[in-house]
């Protein structure tokens, strides 16, 4: 019987994200005001250039801010997990594909357990770095090398993966029942 499960999580904005959104908006308003009101008298008949620059700054800020709206989608098919990053519901990028049979370790994510470890790449595809909801998997990827994947699966994804994860890596373990994420 084939196993197919998909789950999508929305990344919560961090303090850095909120700061950047505010900075983009402030800079866009400043460029717009300068472009529309102050370049008109300076450029005379070419004052439309200032208005064009101002409107372009507003559009650019909107584009940058909306691209910070990120969702991650996990698709599990017969023990193989695909992790996609969806930006602003416009673009989709495949972050990685891994087979659960190749997991070297798997379990609840604790930041301090992985701080000093030497991974070739780290993929954070989690709604937040909250340790109560995030899980990790360590495996060797063909292109990325030794990889740490941090993600926020629901119970269906966990059940679909547990069957394929080797026992010594944490497969078939009883993971705590979690409360549904609250937004």
pLDDT of res. 40: 66
Least confident residue range of 52-66, 82-96, 167-181: 167-181
> Residues 143, 114: one domain?
yes
Residue 77, judged by CB atoms within 10 A of its CB (0-12, 13-18, 19+), counts as middle
> Residues 61, 114: one domain?
no
Rounded distance between C-alpha atoms, residue 68 and residue 76, angstroms: 25
Location of structure tokens 């499960």: 5
The answer to the question of residue 32 being in a domain is: yes
> Residues 95, 47: one domain?
no
Rounded distance between C-alpha atoms, residue 30 and residue 134, angstroms: 40
pLDDT of res. 2: 80
pLDDT by residue (tens digit) across 76-118? 998 899 999 999 998 999 999 999 999 988 888 888 888 888 8
Give the range of the structural domain holding residue 32, as residue numbers without chain letter. Answer: 15-66
pLDDT of res. 79: 87
> Residues 165, 105: one domain?
yes
The answer to the question of residue 110 being in a domain is: yes
> Residues 61, 124: one domain?
no
pLDDT of res. 66: 93
The answer to the question of residue 176 being in a domain is: no
pLDDT of res. 36: 79
What is the β-pairing status of strands 135-141 and 105-108? antiparallel
The total number of structural domains that make up the chain? 2
């Amino acid at each position: 019987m084939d196993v197919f499960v998909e789950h999508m999580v929305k990344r919560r904005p961090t303090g850095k994200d909120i700061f950047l959104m505010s900075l983009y908006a402030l800079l866009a308003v400043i460029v717009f005001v300068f472009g529309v009101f102050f370049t008109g008298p300076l450029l005379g008949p070419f004052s439309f250039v200032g208005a064009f620059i101002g409107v372009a700054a507003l559009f650019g800020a909107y584009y940058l801010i909306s691209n910070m709206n990120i969702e991650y989608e996990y698709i599990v098919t017969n023990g193989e997990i695909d992790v996609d990053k969806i930006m602003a519901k416009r673009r989709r990028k495949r972050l990685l594909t891994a087979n659960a049979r190749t997991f070297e370790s798997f379990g609840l994510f604790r930041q301090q357990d992985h701080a000093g470890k030497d991974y070739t790449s780290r993929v954070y595809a989690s709604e937040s770095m909250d340790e109560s909801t995030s899980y990790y998997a360590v495996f060797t990827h063909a292109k990325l090398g030794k990889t740490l994947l941090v993600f926020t699966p629901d119970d269906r994804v966990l059940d679909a993966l547990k069957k394929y994860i080797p026992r010594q890596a944490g497969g078939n373990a009883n993971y705590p029942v979690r409360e549904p994420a609250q937004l």
